[in-house]
Each structure stands twice: as C-alpha cells, then as structure tokens.
Amino acid sequence: MAVKIRMKRFGRTNRPYYRINAVDGRAARDGRVIEELGSYDPHGSEDQKVKLNAERIQYWLSVGAQPSDTVRSFLKKAGLLKPAAKPQA
C-alpha cells in the first residue's frame, strides 16, 4: 500500500478547513483515513493556520509516505522536511 500525506477538505462553502492525513494513495480525496496528522485553516490567524503532529509525520516519512506538494511546502516551513539538494552545474 502506497501511503500519501495529503489534505482532506472540510468546512462549508467559501470557508474551507483542511485536515492533514495519512491515506492510501489509491483512495479518494475524502476517502478513508489511516491517521490524522494535523490541520490547516487558511482563514485562521498566522500562528494558528497550520498545526502538525511532528512525531507522527516523521514516522510516516520514515516508512516511505509521500507528501503532496502543498503538504511538502508546510513541512519545509516547519523544518520537518529538508529542501532537496540542488544539482551543481
């Protein structure tokens, strides 16, 4: 089973709220979740926008889970994922 770390949308019209989850890569966006790892509120205050469970995210990354592009950017900002090395020309 290929595990992905991606966001699942909640909320109402024009007021989205996302949960960051570990899911089977073949599941639908709003499908079954293996584990909830955090949340993202785009309308929240700056210090409350992104909440992450760092310990569990590190575990899932260590067993090969692949984050989505958006989640990858959150992890880089939080210091949980190191930026990819740039190839030298």
- List of E strands, the chain: 3-12, 15-24, 35-40, 50-52, 66-67
pLDDT (mean) for 47-62: 92
Compute the distance between CA of residue 41 and CA of residue 68 in angstroms, rounded to an integer: 17
User: For the domain bounded by 3-78, which CATH number is listed?
Assistant: 3.30.1320.10
Which amino acid is residue 51, in one-letter code? K
pLDDT band with cut points at 50, 70 and 90 for residue 62: very high
Compute the distance between CA of residue 17 and CA of residue 62 in angstroms, rounded to an integer: 27
pLDDT (mean) for 73-79: 91
pLDDT (mean) for 71-87: 85
Query: How many residues can be counted in the chain?
Result: 89
Instruction: Give me the residue label for tokens 């984050």.
Output: 67
Average pLDDT, the chain: 90
Domain ranges of the chain: 3-78
Q: pTM, whole model, 2 decimals?
A: 0.84
pLDDT band with cut points at 50, 70 and 90 for residue 31: confident
- CB atoms < 10 A from the CB of 31, how many? 11
User: What pLDDT score was predicted for residue 46?
Assistant: 80
